[in-house]
């Protein structure tokens, strides 16, 4: 039998997420073929042999059990957000001192001067690199390697630092995020992060297993991370902040279009569980999905008709996946018309139904799965996967029984996850916030350009399908100065950068509370920021683009102190 570490890393074993109450289905299964790890107080990760339990053949593997795949949300502003005013105020003078800022991303260039203190020592207290298996994992975890600030300082004093701490950020995304949130002051480069006095904790995420990439038909060249590793990263950071006795701000700048977009995935539920924890805040990137044509909002007129969803598939596509979500008590079902005119009549929706359809006129293979009651959200989800789809316009005919409104939503994968790009012909730019940004408790940011005071062209828009207010506010995220992989600075744009700036602001608020023996929780900090957000008379708030307004942390203190 493989050990737990091998199961976690090997593509021979599938990783599945379950609520503890569902563990009973393994009573008649040999322990030789499975093992599990704790993800959160509610969920555990089950490892199953892919040979014994092929994913596509298992009826007891539900939609929410299969880890969703997440990717990066990004490729002048400090003044606009009120951060400089806070740092220079003689009564406040806030810089994030005493606060831990946690990142789950592509790692960090720990040798960059932006992450050193005035004595030249590292401000990074821990790095958990999930991709390196030669070191010692964190206590209570079975994979990856953990490096302490002592080891990092030893590496920095060496001529060959990576022989001591071999963790690297090959993408630069994680380094940019960390720098924007809490990079140190560099007067020569005219640079400062939002909270330059804070401490850092870094989780470098390992990339998703190949069986999941294949199942979802995701682009093999883009960095993709699986939900279970994100949940492990949050568990690690929560454990670390308890050990260090420091308040924590969590920056989440990865996203996915998978899920109901109502904040109901296992990862979403884990974040919501933390909403009242004292000394804790979490910030999510809203995404850059406007203009990508990856969301369709539909409405079936009555039970005798259908709504047609048109999907444009270019030449040389190996495949793609899509999800259709509807709200009970309505029951949705689908039929298809291929670009060559072959018709698949309406496939009745039945509990737990999975079907593979091979088309006669071309090589396309279509897999369809009906889940009438998704195990966490309670909504209906129809999962579609096209392999070797014929180029042209595919028509998905959506039908509705138990009719009330006939409204449904469907999403294609987040941009860059399908190559060449697949699009909806009649797409809807709204309800394009990526998950976990639709989760109710985290502070979710849209992106604007501080140079022209306009919303960023690609910034995802709210609200959620059930009408909840997302984004919460807008933050600068266009052409921000950020540390790069070459010990210098570059320019960064995207919703992840807006989230990083907001993360730094949360660290300032936590520091202010900490100095007054008060540990704010996430709900309090979000309210604090919303009250101080800058609003104009030309916009109706809350707005699908701006949320409750533009981030202005100095104004938040002004409002608070004046009341």
Per-residue pLDDT band for 22 (boundaries 50, 70, 90) equals low
- Scan for tokens 């590292």, then name that residue: 122
Structure-block tokens of residue 406: 């006939």
The Cα 511–Cα 185 span in angstroms is 18
Per-residue pLDDT band for 78 (boundaries 50, 70, 90) equals very low
pLDDT tens for 148-205 read 999 999 999 999 999 999 999 999 999 999 999 999 999 888 899 999 999 999 999 9
pLDDT tens for 417-448 read 998 999 999 999 999 999 999 999 999 999 99
pLDDT on residue 533: 96
For residues 113-127, average pLDDT: 96
For residues 252-258, average pLDDT: 97
pLDDT tens for 92-112 read 679 999 999 999 999 999 999
The Cα 70–Cα 228 span in angstroms is 11
For residues 323-337, average pLDDT: 97
Neighbours of 107 (CB within 10 A): 26
Predicted confidence (pLDDT) at residue 53 exceeds the cutoff of 80: no
Question: Residue 463: is the preceding peptide bond cis (ω within 30°)?
Answer: yes
Bridge partners of residue 354, in order along the sequence: 369
Q: How far apart are the first and last CA of the chain?
A: 63
For residues 229-245, average pLDDT: 97
The Cα 213–Cα 65 span in angstroms is 15
The rounded mean pLDDT for the chain is 92
CB 472 within 8 A of CB 162: no
- Scan for tokens 């939002």, then name that residue: 194
The Cα 493–Cα 279 span in angstroms is 29
The Cα 432–Cα 558 span in angstroms is 33
Predicted confidence (pLDDT) at residue 84 exceeds the cutoff of 60: no
For residues 258-269, average pLDDT: 95
pLDDT on residue 285: 98
Count of all residues that appear for the chain in the document: 563
More confident residue, 429 or 221: 429
Per-residue pLDDT band for 76 (boundaries 50, 70, 90) equals very low
Strand 354-358 to 365-371 pairing: antiparallel
For residues 534-548, average pLDDT: 97
Which secondary structure element, helix H or strand E, spans residue 232, and what is its range? helix 227-244
Q: List the one residue out of 267, 369, 364, 265 whose CA is nearest residue 319.
A: 364
pLDDT on residue 3: 86
Strand 34-38 to 43-49 pairing: antiparallel
For residues 244-273, average pLDDT: 95
pLDDT tens for 354-384 read 999 999 888 999 999 999 999 889 999 999 9
pLDDT tens for 34-43 read 788 989 888 9
What percent of the chain has a predicted confidence (pLDDT) above 70? 93
Of the ranges 10-19, 293-302, 320-329, 435-444, which one carries the lowest mean pLDDT score? Answer: 10-19
- Whole-model pTM: value is 0.94
Predicted confidence (pLDDT) at residue 451 exceeds the cutoff of 70: yes
pLDDT on residue 86: 58
More confident residue, 543 or 32: 543
CB 513 within 8 A of CB 520: yes
Per-residue pLDDT band for 52 (boundaries 50, 70, 90) equals confident
The Cα 373–Cα 328 span in angstroms is 8
Per-residue pLDDT band for 520 (boundaries 50, 70, 90) equals very high
DSSP 3-state assignment of 56? Answer: helix
- DSSP E strands: which ranges in 372-496? 380-387, 392-401, 407-411, 423-424, 443-449, 454-455, 473-476, 480-483, 489-492
The Cα 366–Cα 355 span in angstroms is 8
pLDDT on residue 90: 59
Per-residue pLDDT band for 474 (boundaries 50, 70, 90) equals very high
Bridge partners of residue 65, in order along the sequence: none
pLDDT on residue 62: 82
Predicted confidence (pLDDT) at residue 77 exceeds the cutoff of 50: no
pLDDT on residue 106: 96
What percent of the chain has a predicted confidence (pLDDT) above 90? 80
CA distances from 403 to 304, 307, 326 (A): 10, 13, 11
CA distances from 483 to 143, 188, 331, 408, 519 (A): 29, 13, 50, 43, 30
The Cα 250–Cα 239 span in angstroms is 13
């Amino acid at each position: 039998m493989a050990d737990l570490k091998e199961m976690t890393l090997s593509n021979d074993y599938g990783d599945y997420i379950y609520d503890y109450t569902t563990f009973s289905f393994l009573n008649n299964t040999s322990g030789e073929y499975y093992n599990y790890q704790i993800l959160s107080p509610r969920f555990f990760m089950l490892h199953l042999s892919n040979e014994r339990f092929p994913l596509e053949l298992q009826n007891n593997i539900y939609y929410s059990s299969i880890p969703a795949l997440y990717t990066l949300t990004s490729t002048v502003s400090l003044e606009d957000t009120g951060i400089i005013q806070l740092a220079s105020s003689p009564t406040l003078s806030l810089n994030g001192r005493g606060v831990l800022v946690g990142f789950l991303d592509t790692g960090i260039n720990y040798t960059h001067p932006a992450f050193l203190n005035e004595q030249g020592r590292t401000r990074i207290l821990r790095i958990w690199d999930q991709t390196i298996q030669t070191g010692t994992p964190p206590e209570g975890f079975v994979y990856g390697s953990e490096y302490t600030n002592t080891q990092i300082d030893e590496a920095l004093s060496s001529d060959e630092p990576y022989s001591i701490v071999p963790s690297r950020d090959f993408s630069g995304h994680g380094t940019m995020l960390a720098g924007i949130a809490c990079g140190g002051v560099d007067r020569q480069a005219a640079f400062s992060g939002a909270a330059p006095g804070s401490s850092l904790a870094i989780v470098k995420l390992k990339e998703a297993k190949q069986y999941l990439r294949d199942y979802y038909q995701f682009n093999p060249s883009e960095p993709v991370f699986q939900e279970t590793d994100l949940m492990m990263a949050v568990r690690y950071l929560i454990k670390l902040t308890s050990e260090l006795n420091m308040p924590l701000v969590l920056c989440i700048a990865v996203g996915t279009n998978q899920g109901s977009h109502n904040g109901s995935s296992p990862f979403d539920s884990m974040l919501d569980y933390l909403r009242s924890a004292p000394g804790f805040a979490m910030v999510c990137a809203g995404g850059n999905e406007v203009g990508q044509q990856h969301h369709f909002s539909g409405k079936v007129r009555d039970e005798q008709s259908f709504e047609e969803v048109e999907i444009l598939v270019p030449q040389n596509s190996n495949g793609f996946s899509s999800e259709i979500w509807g709200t009970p008590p309505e029951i949705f079902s689908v039929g298809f018309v291929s670009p060559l005119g072959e018709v698949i009549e309406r496939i009745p929706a039945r509990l737990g139904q999975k079907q593979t359809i091979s088309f006669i006129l071309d090589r396309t293979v279509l897999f369809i799965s009906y889940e009438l009651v998704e195990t966490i959200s309670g909504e209906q989800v129809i999962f579609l996967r096209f392999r070797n789809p014929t180029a042209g316009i595919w028509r998905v005919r959506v039908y509705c029984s138990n009719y009330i409104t006939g409204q449904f939503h469907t999403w294609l994968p987040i941009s860059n996850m399908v190559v060449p790009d697949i699009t909806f012909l009649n797409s809807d730019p709204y309800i394009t916030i990526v998950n976990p940004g639709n989760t109710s408790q985290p502070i979710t940011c849209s992106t604007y350009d501080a140079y022209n005071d306009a919303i960023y062209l690609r910034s995802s828009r709210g609200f959620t399908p059930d009408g909840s207010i997302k984004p919460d506010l807008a933050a600068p995220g266009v052409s921000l100065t950020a540390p790069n992989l070459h010990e210098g600075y570059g320019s960064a744009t995207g919703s992840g950068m807006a989230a990083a700036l907001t993360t730094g602001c949360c660290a300032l608020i936590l520091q202010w509370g900490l100095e007054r023996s008060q540990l704010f929780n996430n709900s309090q900090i979000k309210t604090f920021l919303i009250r101080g957000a800058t609003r104009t008379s030309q916009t109706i708030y809350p707005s699908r683009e701006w949320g409750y307004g533009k981030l202005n942390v100095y104004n938040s203190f002004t409002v608070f102190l004046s009341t």
